[in-house]
Every structure is written in C-alpha cells, then in structure tokens.
Structure 1
Amino acid sequence: MADHTNGFRAQAPLGAQISHMLKARGVDTIFGIPGVHNQEMYRGIEEAGIAHVLARHEQGAGFMADGYARASGTPGVAYVITGPGLCNIMTPMGQAYSDSVPVLVLSSCLDEVAAKSGQLHQMLDQCGAAACVCEWSFEARDAQSAYHLVDRALAEFASRRARPRHIQVPIAALEGVATAAPAARPLAAAPAIAEALVDQVAKALNAAQKPLVILGGGAVRAAKGWRQVVGRLGAASFTTYAGRGIMGADAPLDFGSYLARPESAGVIAEADFVLAVGTELSENDLWREDLGHDAPLIRVDIDPAQLGGAPNCDLPVLADAGALAEALLTRDLGMKQGWQAASVAAARARWRAESDGERPGVAPLCDVLRAALPEDVMVYSDMTQFAYVAQEVWPMAHPGHWHHPSGFGTLGYALPAAIGGAVARRGKPTIAIAGDYGFQYTVQELGTAVELGLSLPILLWDNGKLKEIEDSMVRAQIAPNAVIAHNPDFCALARAYGAFAEAPRTHQELQDAVRAALSAGRPTLIYMTPALAAA
C-alpha cells in the first residue's frame, strides 16, 4: 500500500523512509559520503528524487550544506557516517552555529557502546560530542522518534534562530522496517509583535534628531523593509559584515560595514538614539569591548539569549526583524536632518584608506573584480587578508550575497560552501575567494565541482605565507615563526583535478578570466599574487 503523501510504500527500511520524508518536506539536495554504517540512508535517496552531492571529505559536505542553506534560504542537509564522519563535519557545524545557518546533519551511530568495545568507528559519546557545536544533538532509537526530531528541526529552523541540529540513528534502526512518516503539518504563524512595543520603538525614533540604525545578519531577509524605514527617517546606518547589502551599494547615509574601525565608536557616540536589529554586536562585529554609544539603545533580536544579557541596552525587543519593520512602516516616521551625506562619505573614504594601508593592494583589486562581476553575484570567502579588506571596501547591492566564516573563523570554508551555493543557484553567478593556506584545507572538493560541471571562478590570493598571523606576531613583538609553508603549483593542481586555471598578469586579464570563468562549464582557479595588485 502506498503512502500518497510521501509517494512511497508504507513499509520500508527506516533509512529509506527518512529520505522520502525529507523529500516530502521540500528537501531536494543532500550532501554527504556513504559508508557501510549509513548506507541504509542512501537506499531511498534516488527513489525519492533527491539529488546527492558527493563530497571528498565530510568537512566539505558540511560546508556545502552551509553554502546551500545561505544561498537558498532553506535548510542544508548532510548525511555522514558514525564516528569519524561525524567528527569531520563538526567544524562546519560549529561554523553554522556561529553564523546562524540552518544545517541538519543526520548520522548513523552504533547500537551499543557501553557494553562493547573495539567496534568500527566507536566513540565514547558521539551524540554528546556533536552537541558541543550545534543547537541540539539527539539520538532517535526508532522510526517515530526519528520523524519527530526531523519535523522538530525543520519547524525550529522556520520559527527560531537558525542553527544546526544533529540527529543520529542506530544502524539496526536504520535497517529495520518502518512505517512511512506522517504527512507534514503546516506551521502555525508566529505571534505578531505587540502594538504597544511597536509604538514604543516608533516614539523613540521620532524623538531623536540623529537616529542611528545598525543592521545585522538577522535583518537580511527583511532588507527591503529596513531600507524603507531607514530612508523614511533620514537615519544613518551601519551594517555588520553579515548585514552587508541591506542598505544597497549607494545609500547616502550608510556608513557601510566599517563598525570595526576604531573611529566608528566616535561616530556612534554622535547619535542621540541607536536601534540595533538582528546583530549580536559581538567581538567579530566590533573588535572592541563597547559599541561606543552614549544615547539610548534598543536591541531587536529573535533569540532571547542575545537579549537577556545585552550590555548597555535600554530596551530589549524579542521580535522578528521583518515583523518589526513592517509594523514600523504603518507608523508616521518623521524625516530627520541630523546626518549629512558629505560627512558620511568622508568617513567611508577615510576608513577605506585605512583598510588599504593595513593590507596594501587589495582594495584596488576589489574594485577591478567588482567591475567585472554581475551585480547579483554571490560570494563565498575564506579566512584570508583579501576577504578581510573586501568585507569593508566592497559595496554590496544585494543583502545575503557575501558569505564569510565569521564567528567560528574556520579555514577551508570558501570552496565547498561556494559549491553548495552554486548548486542552490544553478545558472546564477557564484564565486569563491580563498587564501593560499586555507584553500589547501578543502582543495580536494575541486573534484566535486568538476563532477557537477559548475562554472565557478575560484579566486586564489597567494601571498606565500600566513600573512595575517605574521603581522599579528610582529605587533605582539614575537619573532614570526611557522608562518611560511611550501605551496604547490596551484594552477597545475587545479588542472590535475580537471578544472581550468588562469594566472592573469594585468587587471584586464583578471577581468577577462573572471568573465570567462562564469560560463566555462567547469570550475576555474584564478591565481592572484600581490604583484597583480601593482600591475
């Protein structure tokens, strides 16, 4: 007898039923690597009509799921094996946790670990290990528990702060025959924000003469509304790195993503009211202890944990960023004249010059690349000096189009995450930006990109060393040590995987290489060195 909701027979091994359940709930792609322990999870993938992307390492699979989620706005899903498979994906899980990305990891696990030892892939506490880097990690010992946890994860992704979840299922349970998952139930609408609270925020905005709005990653999907609110007020704005693009590339009163510049604290102190929306105002946003404000501060966040201990906050508002923007647009918001566009532009010019002075040559190359790329390009960057500069000086026309491993700060993110993003955005421009050292963490995923036929430009910045670490050591009066490693011939390595490779010598050649790579039918490594900046 068929289950017409899930399109699958009522009785089948649980591993297959889980794949059909995911398909019925909108999952169309799974990233992972099959193994003897999780092979039952693969029984139903093709039958369910789900595409599977074969990574070369579980770390790559996790970053691909992360990149897919960021690009699509829907959860990224990964299948991994017991023990080392789960351990390998924990770094991507930690990154997704830090950056609020909805990633669902499903792993197999051993049936018994307390009374038996010496088993393949055995860990003392696999579930507990994963719990250290995700919102929750649970074991489902039977079909109904597995279905409940999957639905719980998907519901929480849609209604709460999106962070990774992990579900492990014992091998025997995956192999056992199970009834098909129940039909999905629609989620109830989130409660509306209280009118009195909206009035309180609107009153504070209208009472100010120099209001300042700080927009973080939590406001990205409400960018249109917040752009209207800020514009109607005549308020100035900053965005965090994760919030880049919310205000567009040319907003006259937007200070951009320069919050980490020391002088920004003085600018923020000029405001007579500050509204911070969807941002932790964390170390990775500010790189200083305090925001710098002297005026009242209202913080808006969907995560109560962020609001409970918010320092120097006069009113914490637990609300969805989009719901608050929509509500504020129904209020009368008076135009202010306290901020001047010329002063904002002058500050941005000073801060760009500072950034260029700290890491010379990168800012002009950012201008060259930006001119060659379509406005809707989606960028995935790694922990590299090129990206540190670009996050400040590269204006973004669209929000949610630049993704960087900010909080956890892992290396090796850009290439596999860009693969996931390109899978989610087939036919749309996607690029990766990596440094010479971080690229080698996940270089093997070039094989996946070649298999998929992705027209993916990979911009590789090779300064021949761990330059950011060297600079930090020098500032700390430590003799630089262990910051130089032997690099391969990156172009030859890319070609060995079946990718294209270019080493442009002029800015024009760089632009030509990037444009060609966007329609090449396979990935293209574009090799850049500091010498190119001076070309």
Structure 2
Amino acid sequence: MQRPLGAQISHALKARGVEVIFGIPGVHNIEMYRGIEEAGIRHVLARHEQGAGFMADGYARASGRPGLCYLITGPGFLNATTALGQAYSDSVPVLALASCLDETAHRRGQLHQMLDQVGAGRAVCDWSEEARTPSAAYGLIDRALTEFATRRARPKAIHLPITALGALAEPAPAPRAAPGLPEVGFAGMTRVVEAVLAAERPLFIFGGGARGGAAVIPDLLRMTGAASFTTFAGRGLVPADTPLHFGAMLARPDAQRVVNEADLVVALGCELTEVDLWRADLGYDGRMIRVDIDPELLTGEGVQGDAGALLRAMAVAIPARTEDRAPCWDATEVAATKVRWRAEIAAERPGLASVIAALQAVMPEDAMIFSDMTQFAYAALELWDLPQGAAWHHPSGFGTLGYALPAAIGGSVARPGLPTVAIAGDYGLQYTLPELGTAVELGLSLPILVWDNSELGEIRDAMVGAQIAPNAVVARNPDFIALAKAYGARAAQPGTSVELKDAVAEAFHAPVPTLIRMARGLS
C-alpha cells in the first residue's frame, strides 16, 4: 500500500538485508524515521554526524555488509563527509542517505541551505546523486547495493528532497539477487600458478582484498615455498609464526632490498601506495603480477578479479600440478631480518614496544581492533602480530583523527558478544569523544585504550626531525578518568603492565565501556 516515501525506503532497505542505521534525526529528515521501527530496523543515535559516518564504516568492516547512515540537509551531511572520505580511501561500503532542499536556485535563505550539497558528496564518494522521485530513490539504492557486491566497495550518497520524503509513494519493487565479485578466469589463474611455480624466489604480498582466501594462505605458502608480506590492511591473513613471513613491515626502509631479492612478486588485493609503504612506490624492478578487482590498479602485468577466490582456486590447482616445494627463502635470514626491524621500531618509538607486548598477551584471539591516528597505533601496526583471521582496522588512506571510538561502536554493534577494542591517542580521541555517550547508551563492553602523552607526539617528532622548533604541539587535556565517569562509563589508569592487562580483561566483561588511560611511564 501507499506510504510516505521515507517509510517506504525503510521497508525497502529491510527487504534488502539492512538491519542497522546510524544517524541523527532532524527537522528536515524526520520522514526518513517514520518507518524505521515498523520495518524492524535498529537505529543507533550518534552524537555527531561524523560519528554516525564512522559507525557505519566500522559496522561495514566488521560485518562485511554495507553500513548505512541517515543524515540531515546541509551541515549534517557535511559533518559526515570526513567519514565518507575515509570510507572511500579504505574501500568500505557505506551508504549515506541525506535529506536535501527541494529547490535552491531561486529561493534563498532556507534552513541548512548550501550551494551544492550533491556536489559536496561527489568530492568524497564514489558517486553522489539526488533522487527526485520514488523510482529514482529505489533505483539508486539498488544501484549502490549492487555495486557494493560486484566491484571495489566505496561510499555512495543519495540525497532525498524534503517534500518527496513526505509524499505518498508506492512500495519499492522486490529486491533482486546481486551477482558476486568478478572472478579470475581459468587462463588468468593458470598464468599466476605457472609464474609462481617457475620462480626461484617467489614473494606474495597480501592486502585486505585477499581476506576471502585467508583459510588457504598457510597451505599455499607451504606448497609454493614462497615468502610473504602483508600490508597493514592484510594483517592477520598469514599466521605470525609462518617461517618465511616478514609481517606487515613493507614500510621499513630495508624492505625494498628484501623485495628486490625476489624474482617474482604477486600482489593480491592491495594498492601498494604511500600509506602502505611510506615511500613513493614498492621500488621493485622484477616481474610483478597484480591481482585486484579494481582495473585502475592493474598497471603492468595484471589480472582482474577477486583475489580471495583466486587464492582458493590456486590451493586446489597447485597440488594437482606438483608436490610441495622446498622453501625458496632462508627461514633463518627471515627471522633475523624481523628481529632487526623490530629493534628499529622500538628505538624509533621508545616505551611503546613493552606496552604493545602486554596488550597483545591479554587480547582474545577473536578481538577486532579499531585504531586512530596515534603513535601507539603506528608502532603496533608493525609490531603487533595478529592471529590468523583476526582484524585490525585503521584509517589508513584519508588518515582521519577521531576514527577509532565511533568505528569501534559500529563494529561492536555488528558483532554482539564478541570482543571489540578502540585504540586512540589523547588528541584524536577528543575529536569524537561525545560518542562515548552512545557506547554507554548501548551498554557495550568496549575497552577504549587511550595513549596519553599530553602532546601531538608524532608532529613534535616531525618538527624536530625537520629542525623546526616544536610549536603548537602541546594542548591541555581534560581529566579523561573523570570525563569517562561523567558519561556513565568505567575508567582505569593502570601504572604497570600487569594492571593494564587486568583492566583490559575486566573491560571485556563490564556492562558499559571502559576508558583505560595509558600514560608515558607505564612500566
């Protein structure tokens, strides 16, 4: 039967598998809220639209399904564009539905008016379009969900005029099954297999896009005798104790030398950009085969398709062709290289290695971690070996501060009953600190680890390294313990590694989130 379009959209989303929406209601988008409860969709109330966008991002990363956020016209949508930009750079399926004004060319001075809301979305999203009719709204929703399932996932924005949202509309058509990601064909798979088996020192680099093949990666490495790296997004795909695995240390200056010892590099589901390498490029001159669903990344010798599906196919094809090969690299040399690199990191960031080790020892194997742009995370991304299948989500590309807490909330909502952790710095936490109220409201057993060095430590170090007198890198922090308690959360300030472990273990079973302040001098 006919209902206002806002209500019909809720029913359409539910029919297409949407279970949770993050957002903030406002006078312009209340029609979007008319049908949420009737449709059986859960709504999570954020404290700021940027937080709602980050929650949708965290939900998508944790669940593997699209994350949705409801936004209001003008400033509400703009507040979320930072989160949408982060989702774009990290290939996260986030769909933003925002109200918009009916007409802006002639009428001026309207509430929340801006020059080009749709155009603002195009600056940070895969696409941003206005739906002026019910059929356009339903069609754009289906287009977004289909593209999430069949190509590189990037955020989309749909803008809905206020009058259209309140007008009666027919129901959306029944959802159609979407095809999956494109798979590498037999010829492409054969080319990769033959290249690997012909190489004397093959090297695999696994990115986040290879996660669908995680289960077979250990067997594949054993069968081929290859060495491996992961990008930061691919951590957890290779067991840490794999003898020929170099870890997520492509950013080490010496890694370029190691990569050039290979006569074949197979890069699966990774961009290998500046934020993976912290240099202009991989610096490899030999033969490289790249496997990715995004044709833009397939420069040189590339194979388009789902890297995870290819890995699963290779694990079947290789035993049919040959017996397991002897290791093509020296495991003793790999281990020694990793020890040397770890010592470098510990020296670069004094005091962090021991705290990271303490946290790693107490972390459940199925924990999902969301980190912010902070020195603690920068060190941990290289030093913290994840169990296979575990996941650590970091705002790598766009590099947004304030990501960890709201994204962890979204991740917790997606994985009820499973351990989720937020790691933030003292400065970045304050970007989205009010979302602590949402976490308390939801009753999340969420440890929020805050590295408090009372300054912008990374920027200070960069200034010193550039021979610039450190300036504007120290800010007065609030009393984080008192602030957490004011929100109704628990708080702890451990002074030793043992106390830190105890605080984290307790936080996983607490009825509300726990803010754990880790200060310099933690022993």
Greater shift after overlay, 440-449 or 321-330?
Answer: 321-330
1:65-464 mapped onto 2 (5 Å cutoff): 65-189=56-180, 192-307=183-298, 310=299, 313=300, 315-331=301-317, 332=321, 335-399=325-389, 401-464=391-454
> CA 1:129–1:255 in structure 2 vs 1: closer, same or farther (change >3 Å)?
same
Q: Output the CA distance in 2 between the equivalents of 1:262 and 1:518.
A: 37
What's 1:6 paired with?
A: none
Q: Give the secondary structure class of the aligned counterpart of 1:79.
A: strand
Deviations 1:139-172 (A, max 9, x none): 1001000000001100110110011000011001
Paired AA for residue 115 in structure 2: L
Paired AA for residue 327 in structure 1: A
Contact 2:60 2:67 in 1 (8 A): yes
Deviations 1:291-342 (A, max 9, x none): 13232000111001122xx3xx3x1111111221122223225514321221
Contact 1:414 1:432 in 2 (8 A): yes
Q: Give the secondary structure class of the aligned counterpart of 1:106.
A: strand
> CA 1:198–1:463 in structure 2 vs 1: closer, same or farther (change >3 Å)?
same
Q: Output the CA distance in 2 between the equivalents of 1:120 and 1:231.
A: 63
Contact 2:366 2:390 in 1 (8 A): no
Q: Which runs of 5+ in 2 are unaligned?
A: none
What's 1:3 paired with?
A: none
Q: Give the secondary structure class of the aligned counterpart of 1:26.
A: coil
Q: Output the CA distance in 2 between the equivalents of 1:290 and 1:117.
A: 49
What's 2:477 paired with?
A: 487
Q: Output the CA distance in 2 between the equivalents of 1:288 and 1:190.
A: 31
Per-residue deviation, 1:228: 2.8
Q: Output the CA distance in 2 between the equivalents of 1:299 and 1:267.
A: 18
1:21-100 mapped onto 2 (5 Å cutoff): 21-100=12-91
Q: Output the CA distance in 2 between the equivalents of 1:131 and 1:26.
A: 26
Per-residue deviation, 1:224: 1.5
The answer to whether residue 455 in structure 2 is matched with residue 465 in structure 1 is yes
Q: Output the CA distance in 1 between the equivalents of 2:261 and 2:189.
A: 25
> CA 1:486–1:412 in structure 2 vs 1: closer, same or farther (change >3 Å)?
same
Per-residue deviation, 1:477: 1.1
Contact 1:217 1:279 in 2 (8 A): yes
Greater shift after overlay, 240-249 or 322-331?
Answer: 322-331
Q: Give the secondary structure class of the aligned counterpart of 2:218.
A: helix
Q: Output the CA distance in 2 between the equivalents of 1:189 and 1:123.
A: 38
Aligned-CA RMSD value: 1.1
Contact 2:184 2:303 in 1 (8 A): no
Q: Output the CA distance in 1 between the equivalents of 2:519 and 2:179.
A: 53
Q: Give the secondary structure class of the aligned counterpart of 2:291.
A: strand
Paired AA for residue 104 in structure 2: V
What's 2:519 paired with?
A: 529
Q: Give the secondary structure class of the aligned counterpart of 2:290.
A: strand
Paired AA for residue 172 in structure 2: A
What's 1:4 paired with?
A: none
Contact 2:209 2:308 in 1 (8 A): no
The percent of aligned pairs where both chains have the same amino acid is: 62
Q: Output the CA distance in 2 between the equivalents of 1:187 and 1:406.
A: 29
The answer to whether residue 464 in structure 2 is matched with residue 474 in structure 1 is yes
List structure 1 runs of 4+ shifted beyond 3 angstroms: 188-192
